[in-house]
Amino acid sequence: MNFIERVRLSIFPGSGKPADEQKGSRKYFRSLLLHFRPRVVPKRTLRFNLTWGLGGMAAVLVLLLFSTGLLLKFAYEPFPGRAYDSILHLQHNIPFGQLIRNIHHWSANILLVIVFLHFLRVFFTGAFTKPRQFNWIIGLALFAGVILSNFTGYLLPWDQLAFWAITISSSMLEYIPGVGARLHDLVLGGPDLGPSTISNFYAIHTAILPVLLLLILPFHFWRIRKANGLVIPRSPVEDSDTRGKKVDTIPNLITREVTVALVLFAVVLIISMLVDAPLAVKANPGLSPNPTKAPWYFMGFQEMLMHFHPVFSLFIMPLLLTLGLLVIPYLNYQADTAGIWFCSRKGRQMAIIAVVTAIAVTVAGVLIDEFMIGSKQAGPNMISSGLVPFAIVLTGFIGFYLFMKKKFEATNNEAIQTLFILLVTGFVVLTIIGIWFRGTGMRLMM
Amino acid sequence: MSETEQNKHPEKESATSRRSLLNKLWILLGIVALAELIGLVFAFFKPRMKRISKAERDAIIVAGPLDSFLPDTVTAFVRGKFYLARLADGGFLALSRSCTHLGCTVPWVAKENKFICPCHSSEFDITGEVISPPAPRALDIYQITIENNIVRVNTSKRKKRSEFTSGQITYPKNT
C-alpha cells in the first residue's frame, strides 16, 4: 500500500473493502448522512402538503446567508464614515459584489417569510402538542433570532433607509416602562446612533446571532428525531394510531429535500439577478425622510402605534402576544388533533370565518380611527388612547372566542385556533397597511 | 437519612455529608464565578458609555454673541445637534432636535412658526412644547450659560421634561 493509498483509506475507511451493492465512498457518504437522518421515515410524512418543505427551505436559506455573509465580511467596514462607501465599493468594484449582496438581502427577507409560514404550518397541523411542546419554544427562539438578525443587518449599509428605520425602531424601546431608556442606550451604545451602534450591531449580527443559531438549529432538528419524526398527517376522520408503512430515507426523503433546496436556490438566484438590494443615499442624521418607516416586519407595530398609546402598542400588547405564543403548547386540549390540518372540518369552517372577520374588523378599525375619530395619531393620554381602545380590542377577542365556541359547539382546540387566526390575520393586515398604504406624514393613501 | 441509620454508619454518614458539602461548595464557587463573569461583561461595556459622555462633556458649544440672535427666532446648530430658540421676551432655550416620539430630527418651519416632525407629524412651538401629538412630551433641553454677552450651550447633558415651564428659560444677566 503506497502513501497516497494509505491517506485515502484513512479518510474513506470503507473503500478498501470489496464492494457489495454500493461503491465504497458512496456507502460511506450514506452512512454519514444517516447519522443525521433516520434510516427509514413514515411514507405519509413525505407528502409535500404536510410540510411544504418550509423547515428545509429555512435551513437552506440559513446556509446561503452564512456563506454570502462570510464573503461580505471581507468587504464591509463597520464605521459610520466608511460603511456606506464600502458598500458602494462592494457593488461597483468587487466582481459579483452586487450579486452577493443581493443574495444575502433577498435570502434574509425570504427567510423571514418562510419562517413565518413554517410557524403557521406547525400550528395548523397541531405539531406543537406532546412530545413536540418544547420544540415549539425552541422554534420561537429561532424565529426571534431570525428577526434580530434581520434587524441588526438592516443598519449596516448606513444609508438613509437604514439610519432612520433603526432610529425609530430603537426609539420604540424607550417606551418600555422603567428600563426603556437605559435599554435604548445600551443597544445603541449611547443616546444617539453612532460608531458604538455600528460596532454593537456588527458584533451581534456577525458573531453572536450566527453562533446562537448554529447552536440552537441542530437542537431543533434533534428534537424532531426524538419525537419520532414529523407528525403523521391524517384526515379528520382517521385515528391517530395509523402510522402507515415506512420507506427508506435514501433516496425517498433525500431526493425530495435536495429538489426543494435546488429549486429554492434557483429562485433566490433569479430574484437576485433581477432586483438589486435597495440602497438609498448616505445616512444624514440631520434630515429625516418623510415618511420614515421601520423595517417592513416591524410595520405592524408602527401601525399599532398610530392607534394605541405607546405603552400599550409597544409593551403590553407585544408582551401578551409573546406570552400567548409561549403557553400555546402547554394548554390543556380537549382533543388530539396532531396531524390534522385546522383540527377538524368544523375547525376549517371556523378558520375561514375568523380570517374574514379579522380582515374586515381590522380594516374598518383603522379607517374609523383615521377618519371618524379624526385623531391624526394616538395621543399621549393613557386612558383615552391607551386603556379604552385596548379594553375594546380585548373585549372583542374574548367575545369572539366565546361566541365561536358556543355557536359551533367547538372543542377548545378549535376555539383557540380561531383566536390565533384572528390575532395573526389582524397583525398581518396591520403590517400590510403600514407597508403599502401609508404615505407622506404617515397618512392613509389608497 | 434517619437518626438510627446515622448511628449505624457514622463514618459513611460523615463521608456523604462531606461530599454534599463539597458539592455545595462547588456550586457556590460556580455562582461566584458566574457573577464575576457577568460583572466583567458589564464593566467591559461601561467605559464606552462613559467615553461618549466624556467626549460630550468637552462639547460646550459657543453659540455666539447675544445680539446675533433676534427675539422670536430659532437658530440651528448642526454640530451640537440642537436649536437655540430666542423667545419674544429675550430669553433663551436650547432644544434638542430629536423628536420625543420616535427620535426623528425635527426641522424648524419658520413660515408656520413651529417645529414639524416629518415622521409622524408631531408639532412643537418655539418653546418645544407639544402642539400636536403623537409626541408624548416637550423637546429635551440643554443647559445654557451666558457670560460676557456670549451664549454657550452644554450639549453633554440632555434634560428630559414633560412640559415647558418658564423656569427652563435662561435670560441674559443685564435684562
pLDDT in tens, B50-70: 545 555 556 777 777 777 777
Which chain B positions have a beta carbon within 8 Å of A171's beta carbon? 101-103
Predicted pLDDT of residue A245:
85
- A279 and A364, same structural domain? no
- A320 and A201, same structural domain? no
Q: How confident is the model at residue B47 (pLDDT cuts 50, 70, 90)?
A: low
Q: Are B141 and B98 in contact (CB under 8 A)?
A: no
Predicted pLDDT of residue A426:
93
Q: How confident is the model at residue A230 (pLDDT cuts 50, 70, 90)?
A: confident
| Architecture per CATH, B61-168 | 3-layer Sandwich (2.102)
* Residue-averaged pLDDT of chain B: 78
- A224 and A76, same structural domain? yes
Residue A192 domain-assigned?
yes
Instruction: Establish if B161 touches chain A: CB-CB under 8 angstroms.
Output: no
Cα separation of B6 and B3, whole Å? 5
Cα separation of A426 and A354, whole Å? 10
Cα separation of B92 and B87, whole Å? 6
Predicted pLDDT of residue A241:
67
Residue A2: helix, strand or coil by DSSP? Answer: coil
Nearest CA in chain A to B80: A286
Predicted pLDDT of residue B55:
55
Best of B120, B129, B156 to disrupt the A interface (most A CBs within 10 Å) is B120
- Cβ burial A265-300 (10 Å sphere, 16+ → b, else e): beebeebbeeeebebeebbebeebbbbbbbbbbbbb
Is residue A443 predicted with pLDDT exceeding 90? Answer: no
- A340 and A283, same structural domain? no
The radius of gyration computed from the CA coordinates of chain A, to the nearest angstrom, equals 25
Predicted pLDDT of residue A103:
95
CB neighbours (10 Å) of residue A42? 19
Structural domain span for residue A273: 39-237+245-289
* Residue-averaged pLDDT of chain A: 87
Predicted pLDDT of residue B58:
60
Is residue B92 predicted with pLDDT exceeding 90? Answer: no
Is residue A227 predicted with pLDDT exceeding 80? Answer: yes
Sign of CA dihedral B134, B138, B139, B140: negative
Q: How confident is the model at residue A205 (pLDDT cuts 50, 70, 90)?
A: very high
Highest mean pLDDT among A88-97, A175-184, A432-441: A88-97
Contact across the interface for A189 and B101, Cβ inside 8 Å: no
What percentage of residues in chain A have a pLDDT greater than 90? 48
Q: In what order do the strands lie in the sheet with B60-65?
A: B60-65, B150-159, B141-147, B92-96, B82-86, B73-77
What are the distances in angstroms from CA A39 to CA A53, A394, B59?
19, 49, 68
Q: Are B163 and B138 in contact (CB under 8 A)?
A: yes
Predicted pLDDT of residue B69:
79
Average pLDDT over residues A163-172: 90
Predicted pLDDT of residue B53:
54
Is residue B85 predicted with pLDDT exceeding 60? Answer: yes
The DSSP code sequence of A339-404 is: TSTTSSHHHHHHHHHHHHHHHHHHHHHHHIIIIIS--SS--S-TIIIIIHHHHHHHHHHHHHHHHH
Contact across the interface for A168 and B133, Cβ inside 8 Å: no
CB neighbours (10 Å) of residue A404? 20
Is residue B2 predicted with pLDDT exceeding 50? Answer: no
CB neighbours (10 Å) of residue A306? 22
Predicted pLDDT of residue A90:
92
- A266 and A371, same structural domain? no
Residue B93: helix, strand or coil by DSSP? Answer: strand
Cα separation of B3 and B9, whole Å? 10
> Of B49, B102, B121, which is closest to A172 when you measure between CB atoms?
B102
Cα separation of B61 and B91, whole Å? 18
**Exposed, middle or buried, A158 (CB in 10 Å: 0-12/13-18/19+)?**
buried
Best of A171, A284, A308 to disrupt the B interface (most B CBs within 10 Å) is A171
**Exposed, middle or buried, B36 (CB in 10 Å: 0-12/13-18/19+)?**
exposed
CB neighbours (10 Å) of residue A84? 23
CB neighbours (10 Å) of residue A387? 16
CB neighbours (10 Å) of residue B80? 21
Q: Which of residues 40-69 of B touch A (CB under 8 A)?
A: 45, 48-49, 52
What percentage of residues in chain B have a pLDDT greater than 90? 7
C-alpha cell, A185: 442606550
Q: Which residues pair with B116 in a beta bridge?
A: B123
Give the gap in angstroms from C-alpha A185 to the nearest C-alpha of chain B. 8
- A269 and A194, same structural domain? yes
User: In one letter, which amino acid is A91?
Assistant: Q
At CA A137, angle to CA A131 and CA A142, rounded to 5? 125
Cα separation of A49 and A34, whole Å? 24
Contact across the interface for B98 and A442, Cβ inside 8 Å: no
Grid cell 377538524 in the structure block, residue: A344
Highest mean pLDDT among A13-22, A321-330, A343-352, A372-381: A321-330
Output the domain CATH number for residue A285. Answer: 1.20.810.10
* Residue A297 C-alpha from the chain's centroid: 9
> Of A186, A291, A376, which is closest to B119 when you measure between CB atoms?
A291
Give chain A's end-to-end CA distance (angstroms, integer): 77
> Which positions ≥6 away from A298 have C-beta within 8 Å?
A151, A169, A172
Residue A111 domain-assigned?
yes
Residue A19 domain-assigned?
no
Q: Are B99 and B135 in contact (CB under 8 A)?
A: yes
Predicted pLDDT of residue A360:
94
Sign of CA dihedral A412, A417, A422, A426: positive
Cα separation of A59 and A72, whole Å? 20
Average pLDDT over residues A118-147: 94
Q: Are A50 and A233 in contact (CB under 8 A)?
A: yes
Contact across the interface for B103 and A168, Cβ inside 8 Å: yes
Best of B45, B54, B102 to disrupt the A interface (most A CBs within 10 Å) is B102
Instruction: Establish if B134 touches chain A: CB-CB under 8 angstroms.
Output: yes
Is residue B5 predicted with pLDDT exceeding 60? Answer: no
Cα separation of B108 and B110, whole Å? 6
**Exposed, middle or buried, B148 (CB in 10 Å: 0-12/13-18/19+)?**
exposed
Contact across the interface for B101 and A171, Cβ inside 8 Å: yes
**Exposed, middle or buried, B100 (CB in 10 Å: 0-12/13-18/19+)?**
buried
Is residue B8 predicted with pLDDT exceeding 80? Answer: no
Which chain B positions have a beta carbon within 8 Å of A182's beta carbon? none
Q: Are A192 and B80 in contact (CB under 8 A)?
A: no
Q: How confident is the model at residue A422 (pLDDT cuts 50, 70, 90)?
A: very high
Predicted pLDDT of residue A17:
59
Residue A29 domain-assigned?
no
For residue B65, the surrounding DSSP H or E stretch is strand B60-65
- A279 and A132, same structural domain? yes
Residue A262 domain-assigned?
yes
CB neighbours (10 Å) of residue A124? 19
Predicted pLDDT of residue A132:
92
Residue A3 domain-assigned?
no
Give the gap in angstroms from C-alpha B150 to the nearest C-alpha of chain A. 25
Cα separation of A247 and A44, whole Å? 9
Q: How confident is the model at residue A18 (pLDDT cuts 50, 70, 90)?
A: low
Q: How confident is the model at residue B135 (pLDDT cuts 50, 70, 90)?
A: confident
Predicted pLDDT of residue A22:
52
B53 or A396, higher pLDDT:
A396
- A216 and A85, same structural domain? yes
Peptide bond into B107 cis (omega under 30): no
Instruction: Establish if B97 touches chain A: CB-CB under 8 angstroms.
Output: yes
Average pLDDT over residues A203-214: 95
Predicted pLDDT of residue B56:
54
Highest mean pLDDT among A19-23, A62-66, B75-79, B109-113: A62-66
Best of A288, A309, A377 to disrupt the B interface (most B CBs within 10 Å) is A288
- A189 and A84, same structural domain? yes
> Of B45, B81, B134, which is closest to A377 when you measure between CB atoms?
B134
Instruction: Note the helical H segments in A37-77.
Output: 48-51, 54-75
Predicted pLDDT of residue A246:
86
Residue A64 domain-assigned?
yes
- A256 and A324, same structural domain? no
> Of B45, B81, B105, which is closest to A288 when you measure between CB atoms?
B105
Q: How many CB pairs under 8 A join A and B?
A: 82
Predicted pLDDT of residue A136:
95
A83-92, A240-249, B42-51, B137-146: range with lowest mean pLDDT: B42-51
Q: How confident is the model at residue A260 (pLDDT cuts 50, 70, 90)?
A: very high
Contact across the interface for B104 and A288, Cβ inside 8 Å: yes
Predicted pLDDT of residue A67:
93
B12 or A96, higher pLDDT:
A96
Is residue A231 predicted with pLDDT exceeding 80? Answer: yes
At CA A105, angle to CA A193 and CA A171, rounded to 5? 25
Q: How confident is the model at residue A196 (pLDDT cuts 50, 70, 90)?
A: confident
When divided into structural domains, chain A yields a total of 2
- A249 and A327, same structural domain? no
Which chain A positions have a beta carbon within 8 Å of B48's beta carbon? 189-190, 196
Q: What ranges do the domains of chain B cover?
A: 3-57, 61-168
Predicted pLDDT of residue B134:
77
Residue A14 domain-assigned?
no
Is residue A137 predicted with pLDDT exceeding 90? Answer: yes
- A229 and A332, same structural domain? no
Which chain B positions have a beta carbon within 8 Å of A194's beta carbon? 52
Cα separation of A347 and A353, whole Å? 10
> Of A194, A290, A379, which is closest to B133 when you measure between CB atoms?
A379
The DSSP code sequence of B110-132 is: TTTTEEE-TTT--EE-TTS-EEE
